[in-house]
Amino acid sequence: MKKIILSAMIAGIAMTASAQEKGLSQSKFFDNWQIGANVGGYVPTKGYDLIEDVRLNFGAELSKQISPVFRLGFDANAYLNGNWEERNPLVIEHTNVAVIGAFNLNNLFAGYKGEPRKFEVEAFAGPGWMHHFFQGDNNNYNTMTTKFGANFMYNFGANKAWAVKLTPSILYFIDTPSSDAANSLNINHSLSQVNVGIVYRFKGSNGAHHFTEIEGRNQAEIDQLNNNINNLRNQVSSKEGEINSAQERIAQLEKELEEAKNKEPEIQTITKTKQTLESVVTFGLGKSTVDASQLPNVERIATYLKKYPNSRVVIKGFASPEGNEEKNIALANARAESVKKVLIARYKIDANRIVAQGNGIGDMFSEPEWNRVSIATIEEK
pLDDT in tens, 108-148: 999 998 899 999 999 999 999 999 887 666 667 788 999 99
Q: What is the Cα–Cα distance from 57 to 199, expressed in whole angstroms?
A: 17
With cut-offs at 50, 70 and 90, classify the pLDDT of residue 102: very high
Residue 80 or residue 7, greater confidence: 80
Q: Is 196 helix (H, G, I), strand (E, B) or coil?
A: strand
Asked if residue 184 has pLDDT above 50, the reply is yes
Q: Are 20 and 162 spatial neighbours (Cβ–Cβ below 8 Å)?
A: no
Report pLDDT for 68: 94
Instruction: Give the chain's domains with CATH numbers.
Output: 25-201 (2.40.160.20), 277-379 (3.30.1330.60)
pTM for this entry: 0.51
Report pLDDT for 171: 95
Report pLDDT for 370: 67
Q: What is the mean pLDDT of residues 275-293?
A: 80
User: What b/e string do you get for 8-24 counting C-beta neighbours within 10 Å, with b at 16 or more?
Assistant: beeebeebbeebeeeeb
- Identify which of 101, 225, 84 has the alpha carbon closest to the alpha carbon of residue 151: 101
Dihedral sign, CA of 201, 204, 209, 215?
negative
With cut-offs at 50, 70 and 90, classify the pLDDT of residue 339: confident
Average pLDDT, the chain: 82
Q: Which helix (H) or strand (E) holds 4?
A: helix 2-21
Q: What is the mean pLDDT of residues 259-263?
A: 80
